[in-house]
Structure 1
């Protein structure tokens, strides 16, 4: 059985969905969220778990025969970065403790594309040395620390660490007013009958649809062998506000979205992740492009609040 922590969140739920689609038995944990997405109902075991409670975490091993762990659980930083680091580090260490106690085969953990901040090369690939850089958010700093902590903690155990440098994931179950990945609030405004504020046409990023991210993580979790430790998980391409606006206009009669020519920061390009290693080692290819992802998300949001 595969354990997915944070398994009722956006990325976790889509990872669990992909794993069940591969015929795997899955148990997901969640702390604050109790509602099981319709696409998972009845297909996974669900456990309420405070990640910082070591005894409760280890007790899962008495109830389930867990062979792999996908650690995606985490909190959102508040005003106190120390409190955030303390909470999420405790969760990570308890997950690693459980992996060692249970002797799992593989431990996959969420890292971030933010690890590459400071590298001028585009696209970002796994062989790049990670620079010392000023990081914009506490969560990005923590994800950068996750990698060496995980590797050091599992040394000599026979447990295989898999470091998931996850891109900007969006889709069903994400915060509909997310201030970070703003596709969702853009769609939310349209669904309310409002006209979103004009955006720069050529601004964008590496936006990976949640179903694709979940399938990529599931492939990395279940692969018989993996020749690498670090994998970029994303769409492997750059999407722009122009493409998103055109996709929304194509499925919404009479909709016209205003765009500001060019990029807000001037000439240049937004970085994105090279996923050739992921594709070579697992056979992964994204099932969604901008057009199909936008259409699928709008359909989902017409009957779901997030």
Structure 2
């Protein structure tokens, strides 16, 4: 049985669905809400859990025979990040404590593409040294700290750590006005009957659709053997604003999505993740290109609020 914390969020729910597709028994946790998306209905067990409550977290092991954990739960930082760091660090420590107490086989935790910030190479590979760099936001800072904490906490315990360096993921269940991806707010505007805004012509970079990201994580947590600790999780290719505009126009006929501005002639290539290691060890291949992902998402949003 596999526990997915944050299993009702975008990446967590799609991971849980992929695990269920593989025939795994899955427990998902939610805190403020335990409402299931339609694609999980009847397929997983749901537990309401505040991951900062150590006793409540460990009590799950009294009710279920959990042999692997995917720790994806997280919160949103306030302007002052200290409360965010306290909450999410407490949740991480409790999840690690549970992994050690229950003697699970494998513990996968969400890291981020942002750990590579400051590296000039394209694409980013797992064997790059991680630089001391200014990070874009508190979430990125915390995800970078997650990696050594997890490795040190699990060293010598028999629990295998898996650091999920997750790329720029979007898709079903993403907040419809998310600032982290241009597609959900643009689709929301169209569905409200508004004229969509233009896409920035200097955008682009890593592209991970949530259904693919979830399937990649499911393959990593269930693999018979993993030879490494860190794995890039993404599509393995960068998207361009033109590709995205064309895909949106095709999925939303009559909207005429436009590009604004122009990329600088000397602008560096946007960063993206190399997923050769993920491919080689799990057989993962993305099921969605840009056009397929946009079409799937638009179809989802016509029936669902997020």
* TM-score bucket (shorter structure): over 0.9
Mean Cα displacement is larger for which, 258-267 or 271-280?
258-267
SS at match of 1:20: helix
**2-side partners of 1:254 and 1:74: how far apart?**
38
Q: Deviations over 1:205-247 (max 9, x none)?
A: 2121100000000000000000010000001111122111101
Aligned residue in 1 for 2:147? 147
Question: 1:33-44 alignment to 2 at 5 Å?
Answer: 33-44=33-44
**2-side partners of 1:270 and 1:196: how far apart?**
24
Aligned residue in 2 for 1:176? 176
1:3 aligns with 2:3: yes
**1-side partners of 2:266 and 2:9: how far apart?**
35
Aligned residue in 2 for 1:53? 53
Q: Deviations over 1:87-111 (max 9, x none)?
A: 0000000000000000000000000
Q: Which runs of 5+ in 1 are unaligned?
A: none
Q: Which runs of 5+ in 2 are unaligned?
A: none
SS at match of 1:39: helix
Question: 1:286-301 alignment to 2 at 5 Å?
Answer: 286-301=286-301
C-alpha contact (below 8 Å) 1:109/1:162 kept by paired residues:
yes
C-alpha contact (below 8 Å) 1:203/1:262 kept by paired residues:
no
Aligned residue in 2 for 1:199? 199
Shift of 1:249: 1.2
Shift of 1:269: 1.3
**2-side partners of 1:221 and 1:117: how far apart?**
26
C-alpha contact (below 8 Å) 1:203/1:264 kept by paired residues:
no
Q: Once superposed, which parts of structure 1, at least 4 consecutive aligned residues long, lie more than 3 Å away?
A: none
Aligned residue in 1 for 2:23? 23
C-alpha contact (below 8 Å) 1:169/1:208 kept by paired residues:
yes
Shift of 1:195: 2.2
